[in-house]
Structure 1
Amino acid sequence: MTDKNLASVVFTTEELQKLDEALQNIENVLKGKTFNLTPDERKQYGSIAEQNKLFVNKCKELMEQYPQFVPSFLDKEEFDRDYQARQQIETRLIRLKTITEQLSDTKVLLDNDNYFNSITFYRNVKFLSGQNVPGIKTLYEQLKQFFKGGRKKADV
């Protein structure tokens, strides 16, 4: 068992409030501007592949250069708004994905630290229970229920 701590993170109350306020601000700005698709709708619309993004970019470029060839039934202004909003969203999505990945990775390390420290505690309680330390049996009984179903690596 290692005593190496993989991550040590502490948030102040002020930092947590700032994070919550920032998230609330994001939610407020996005209200009425974003959509929640059903699983079926996600399948139906999917996402366009990189090759198709290149196609859309080229069409946008050519529509700008040759407006006379844009069909009258195509709402070019709406196309431009959609195109711009998509780019604006993608830029922020990249940032949010980076933040989400960092938070997720940090949580993995913290979970790992907590789990292995809990295993260390459990092993000590199990050892002390075998030594008949007064009051320890109740603790051991509460913890050993998590290791039913055969001998586990952590239950050695």
Structure 2
Amino acid sequence: MSDSRNQISMVMAEEAKAQIIDLLKQITDLMPFLTGLTPEQRKRLPKIEKRNKTFVKDVEAVIKNDASLLPSYVKPDEMAKDLELYEQLEELLTPLGYLYDRVRDTQMLAGSEAYTQALMVYNMIKAANKAGLPGANSLYNQLKGRFDRSSAVSTDEISNN
């Protein structure tokens, strides 16, 4: 989207940001069972989808009615707890996804507007330098390194360290 309008003009109060971070920590603390998976684990794990969720529920009903065919190491109660937690977390994903998308989109828009403005200022300084305006040369030299192919890599490496 190359809209030159300023669509967002806001700075979050530090107190509000701190409060939000605290609330997010409180939410995380309410779910001490949350875990992290590696990309390989995510890929490897069998997953519940719409078509096999019904199967899992059917198996749960069957073993609830008669678990006599199961070996002792199969724990029907554990499967029921896992399925219930899956469904509880599924209910949280929609509002969390909405919040994540809105925060990410707002961050992207704010960043885009800041970068667009920075590019505009850079191009003005570049034009002023080309026109020979006093003081423009030092400003241009300070900023132009960002666009030199050879120094762009080293500038990124320096800023990431």
TM exceeding 0.5 = yes
Rounded Cα–Cα distance in structure 2 between residues aligned with 1:83 and 1:46: 14
Structure-1 residue corresponding to 2:154: none
* Partner amino acid, structure 2, of 1:124: M
1:68 and 2:69 aligned: no
- What are the within-5 Å matches in structure 2 for residues 1-156 of structure 1? 3-31=4-32, 33-64=33-64, 67-68=65-66, 71-73=69-71, 74-149=74-149
RMSD: 2.2
Give the conservation status (yes or no) of the 8 Å contact 2:60–2:76: no
> Any gaps of 5 or more consecutive residues in structure 1?
150-156
Rounded Cα–Cα distance in structure 2 between residues aligned with 1:130 and 1:142: 15
User: How many Å apart are 1:2 and its aligned residue?
Assistant: 5.9
TM-score normalised by structure 1 residue count? 0.80
Rounded Cα–Cα distance in structure 2 between residues aligned with 1:46 and 1:11: 41
Q: Which has the higher contact order (CA 8 A, sep 6+)?
A: 1
> Any gaps of 5 or more consecutive residues in structure 2?
150-161
Write out the 4+ residue segments of structure 1 that deviate beyond 6 Å after TM superposition: none
* Partner amino acid, structure 2, of 1:26: I
* Partner amino acid, structure 1, of 2:26: N
1:123-144 CA distance string (max 9 Å, x none): 1111211232222211101222
User: How many Å apart are 1:69 and its aligned residue?
Assistant: 5.5
TM-score normalised by structure 2 residue count? 0.78
Rounded Cα–Cα distance in structure 2 between residues aligned with 1:16 and 1:130: 43
Rounded Cα–Cα distance in structure 1 between residues aligned with 2:46 and 2:106: 30
Rounded Cα–Cα distance in structure 1 between residues aligned with 2:66 and 2:77: 14
Rounded Cα–Cα distance in structure 2 between residues aligned with 1:144 and 1:116: 16
* Partner amino acid, structure 2, of 1:58: D
1:61-82 CA distance string (max 9 Å, x none): 4555xx0266443322212211
Identify if the C-alpha distance between structure 1 residues 46 and 130 changes in structure 2 by more than 3 Å, giving closer, same or farther. Answer: farther
Instruction: State, as a whole percentage, how many aligned pairs show the same letter.
Output: 25
